[in-house]
């Protein structure tokens, strides 16, 4: 019998869970088997498809069978091997990786890893090192948005020991069962199914909204923006303005705890508001609080930004004060978690976006090894020449340097590096060999002398292997590493940022309160480098973070945008494939392409501005299809597939026979190549559509 609210919530969720019968049966049969038939269940699918809900159902099945479960949410794990091992120790209650594996081997168990797409940079390490070190009595279940790399299936052993399952929208029968479980009147089923296309999150939001107002109508022809529309209607029907503020606060905050809700919204009713948030179907619970589903978060926060910037400013102020207070009272990993929450307030800052690439980097930060030194020197020589390489060699041998590298589990070697020097620990002989460090230390002596116990850091070298200091995902990852280093360094008085293109980055550094220190600029060989810096004594961390938060906010009272960003249309995989095939068939017919649902899909909307007209979207749809088709040329084996696509769809010959003759293959081979080419293009576009 249920004895706690958690038990009641679990009962309700199981009672209303529908669908995924094959996946549930697969797990149940595996757990009942004498020996696990597979050791990895890898589920993937787009946002809102119900991955986390399925994990909860899997956990309930495991509980029924007396199988121990351990859960890691990748939202709260930095993407590096050490943090993953730390997370494993946390969930097993152990103090070493070896002890964690002993706990997992005690009896049959399941390790759940949710939002695995955030750890995709470690996929190779996960496949080659992490999983093989686990006992064969452990079943690992991961859920994420990204399709797993082909390396899993190209390995014959993993083909037998892994189940890779793509999760899609509910079919009509599953959708009807879900609506019935939520006590929706059967006479509403038809229009709601047409409106939601079986998208699980959309279905749950429909039910949430109908619970507030049964008379609402949902018209898919006039309201294609499903998630935004449902949330707008739900927000209009929340129990009170205070409940609305709690929901808006949760969209702005990385994690919302009851204590944070008390500080930001209402101290007397925080328990009631927090419990209400936990009941919402689009709110997830994690180890540090609750948070909305990504689609819901973006829709709610976007609406708040233009509807009431004053409310947004007030929420920011209170959250900032809460974080600042806790920042001073924490240390170590707890302090890093608070800093992550603090920095999350800046995610939409328009002033620094031109200097960051917000695409997810395929690399992760790691400590350098002696075996990395030669490659580091090669990168320096490539971009800065022999004179700079000679200086870098000095610091690679120095105890005053801290070297971090970027690694990519899919590539050999490093993809970039950051070399930081603590000036007070540097030997004079080392300083004399580096004009850059010498000028920075000279600036300190003249302008900002260090006091006893104070430290200064010089971010002397930072560059990616392929792009040097150009704006790219790896460059942005290095910038984040620099920010974390400065914000967590003990007794830091001053830091310096060396930059090869100071004029370009000046607006960003000045915005971030790192003024140009021309007195510290220096020259090595024929290259001149600019230096920016910040004195943390004149503007301490708490005040600096407060300044950054204030600068992030829009101007209060600004007029709302006349056009709202359009939501990506929800398509099942079969509908997507059909739409791609239709787009190929009408590739040279703009009138027919104008009717294609792909014009409102991610593969187009990610390439155009929100107010792009039909002509612009059609052009980008054709370009997206052609770009993916063109990738086939890179492989001599697949080049014939592109030839078939080009001669039939893109630049069509008068007939298939003529096209086959043009590319010099039999008609049977031509048709086979055409079919395979279409399938490859569909797969490539689907990966983009689902974030794979």
Model pLDDT for residues 547-598, shown as the tens digit of each residue: 776 676 644 333 333 333 344 464 667 778 888 899 888 888 888 888 888 8
In a domain, 565, yes or no: no
Average pLDDT on 171-183 reads 82
Q: Does one domain contain both 494 and 369?
A: yes
In a domain, 547, yes or no: no
Q: Does one domain contain both 479 and 627?
A: no
Task: Give DSSP secondary structure letters for 129-162.
Answer: IIGGGS-TTEEEEEEESSPPPTHHHHSHHHHHHE
Q: Considering its fold, how many domains does the chain have in total?
A: 5
Residue where a domain stops, chosen among 107, 139, 166: 166
What CATH number is associated with residue 18?
A: 3.40.50.300
Q: Does one domain contain both 231 and 261?
A: no
Rounded to the nearest integer, the mean pLDDT of the chain is: 82
Average pLDDT on 169-191 reads 81
pLDDT for position 216? 66
Q: Give the pLDDT confidence of 260-283 residue by residue, as tens digits.
A: 999 999 888 999 999 888 877 667
Average pLDDT on 616-627 reads 90
Q: 449-465: b or e for each residue (b if 16 or more CB lie within 10 Å)?
A: ebeeebbbbbbbbbbbb
With 0.85 as the threshold, say if the pTM is over it.
no
Judged by DSSP in three states, 572 sits in: coil
* Neighbouring C-beta atoms of residue 221, cutoff 10 Å: 7
Cβ atoms of residues 493 and 534 within 8 Å? no
User: Domain range for residue 248?
Assistant: 241-345
More confident residue, 558 or 151: 151
Of the pLDDT bands very low, low, confident and very high (cuts 50, 70, 90), residue 357 is low
Q: Does one domain contain both 160 and 258?
A: no
Q: Does one domain contain both 200 and 306?
A: no
pLDDT for position 554? 47
Q: Does one domain contain both 386 and 335?
A: no
In angstroms, the CA 373 to CA 389 distance is 11
pLDDT for position 232? 67
User: What tokens were used for 369?
Assistant: 């090894």
Of 333, 314, 297, the residue nearest 90 (C-alpha): 333
In a domain, 552, yes or no: no
Which range among 342-346, 417-421, 544-548, 643-647 has the greatest average pLDDT?
417-421
In a domain, 215, yes or no: yes
Q: Does one domain contain both 160 and 180?
A: no
In a domain, 123, yes or no: yes
More confident residue, 510 or 373: 373
Residue where a domain stops, chosen among 345, 373, 405: 345
Q: Does one domain contain both 147 and 185?
A: no
Q: Does one domain contain both 398 and 509?
A: yes
In a domain, 685, yes or no: yes
Residue where a domain stops, chosen among 315, 345, 375: 345
Which ranges in 3-96 belong to alpha helices (H)? 5-16, 21-32, 51-64, 81-92
Q: Does one domain contain both 588 and 509?
A: no
What CATH number is associated with residue 382?
A: 3.40.630.30
In angstroms, the CA 556 to CA 546 distance is 17
Q: Does one domain contain both 223 and 252?
A: no
Element (H, E) at 404: strand 401-407
Q: Does one domain contain both 250 and 118?
A: no
In a domain, 557, yes or no: no
In a domain, 549, yes or no: no
Judged by DSSP in three states, 284 sits in: strand
In angstroms, the CA 552 to CA 351 distance is 8
Task: Give DSSP secondary structure letters for 591-643.
Answer: HHHTT-GGGGSHHHHTTS-TT--HHHHHHHHHHHHHHHHHGGGGSTTTHHHHH
pLDDT for position 559? 35
């Amino acid at each position: 019998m249920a004895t706690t609210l958690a038990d009641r919530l679990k009962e309700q969720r199981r009672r209303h869970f529908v669908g995924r019968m094959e996946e549930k049966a697969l797990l149940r049969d595996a757990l009942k088997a004498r020996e696990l038939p597979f050791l990895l269940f890898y589920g993937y699918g787009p946002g809102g498809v119900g991955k986390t809900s399925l994990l909860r159902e899997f956990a309930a099945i495991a509980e029924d069978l007396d199988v121990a479960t351990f859960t890691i949410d990748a939202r709260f794990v930095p993407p590096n091997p050490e943090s993953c091992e730390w997370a494993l120790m946390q969930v097993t209650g152990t103090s070493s990786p070896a002890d964690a594996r002993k706990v997992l081997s005690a009896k049959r168990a399941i390790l759940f890893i949710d939002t695995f797409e955030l750890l995709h940079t470690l996929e190779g390490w996960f496949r080659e090192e992490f999983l093989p070190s686990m006992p064969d009595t452990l079943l690992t279940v991961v859920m994420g948005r990204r399709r797993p790399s082909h390396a899993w299936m190209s390995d014959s052993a993993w083909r037998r020991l892994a189940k890779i399952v793509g999760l899609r929208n509910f079919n009509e029968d599953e959708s009807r069962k879900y609506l019935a479980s939520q006590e929706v009147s059967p006479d509403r089923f038809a229009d709601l199914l047409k409106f939601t296309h079986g998208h699980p999150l959309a279905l749950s939001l429909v039910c949430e909204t109908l619970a507030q107002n049964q008379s609402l109508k949902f018209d898919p022809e006039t309201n294609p923006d499903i998630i935004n529309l449902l949330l707008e209607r739900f927000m209009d029907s929340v129990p009170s303005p205070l409940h609305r503020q709690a929901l808006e606060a949760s969209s702005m905050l990385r994690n919302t705890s009851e204590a944070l809700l008390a500080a930001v919204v209402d101290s007397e009713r925080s328990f009631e508001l927090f419990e209400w948030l936990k009941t919402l179907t689009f709110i997830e619970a994690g180890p540090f609080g609750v948070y909305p589903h990504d689609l819901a978060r973006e829709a709610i926060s976007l609406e708040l930004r233009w509807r009431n910037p004053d409310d947004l400013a007030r929420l920011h102020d209170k959250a900032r004060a809460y974080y600042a207070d806790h920042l001073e009272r924490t240390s170590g990993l707890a302090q890093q978690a608070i800093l992550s929450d603090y920095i999350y307030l800046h995610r939409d800052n328009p002033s620094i976006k031109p200097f960051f690439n917000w695409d997810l980097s395929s690399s992760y930060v790691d400590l350098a090894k002696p075996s990395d030194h030669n490659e580091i020197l090669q990168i320096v020589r490539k971009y800065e020449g022999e004179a700079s390489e000679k200086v870098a060699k000095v610091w690679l041998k120095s105890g005053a340097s801290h070297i971090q590298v970027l690694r990519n589990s899919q590539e050999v070697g490093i993809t970039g590096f950051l070399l930081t020097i603590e000036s007070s620990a540097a030997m004079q002989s080392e300083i004399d060999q580096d004009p850059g460090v010498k000028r920075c230390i000279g600036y300190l002596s003249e302008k900002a002398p260090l006091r006893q116990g104070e430290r200064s850091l010089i971010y002397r070298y930072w560059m990616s292997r392929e792009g040097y200091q150009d704006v790219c995902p790896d460059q942005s990852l290095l910038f984040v590493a620099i920010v974390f280093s400065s914000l967590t360094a003990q007794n830091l008085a001053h830091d310096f940022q060396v930059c090869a293109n100071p004029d370009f980055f000046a607006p960003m550094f000045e915005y971030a309160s790192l003024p140009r220190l021309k007195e510290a600029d220096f020259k090595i060989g024929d290259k001149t480098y600019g230096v920016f810096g910040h004195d943390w004594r004149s503007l301490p961390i708490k005040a600096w973070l407060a300044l950054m938060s204030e600068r992030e906010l829009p101007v209060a009272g600004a007029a709302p945008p006349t056009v709202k960003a359009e939501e990506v249309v929800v398509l099942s995989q079969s509908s997507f494939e059909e739409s791609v095939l239709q787009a190929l068939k009408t590739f040279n017919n703009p009138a027919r392409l104008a009717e294609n649902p792909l014009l409102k899909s991610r593969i187009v909307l990610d390439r155009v501005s929100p107010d792009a007209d039909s002509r612009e979207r059609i052009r980008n749809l054709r370009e997206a299809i052609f770009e993916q088709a063109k990738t086939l040329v890179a492989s001599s084996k697949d080049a014939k597939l592109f030839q078939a696509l080009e001669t039939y769809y893109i630049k069509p010959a008068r007939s298939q026979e003529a096209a086959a003759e043009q590319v010099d293959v039999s008609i049977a081979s031509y048709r086979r190549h055409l079919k395979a080419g279409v399938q490859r293009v569909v797969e490539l576009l689907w990966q983009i559509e689902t974030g794979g």
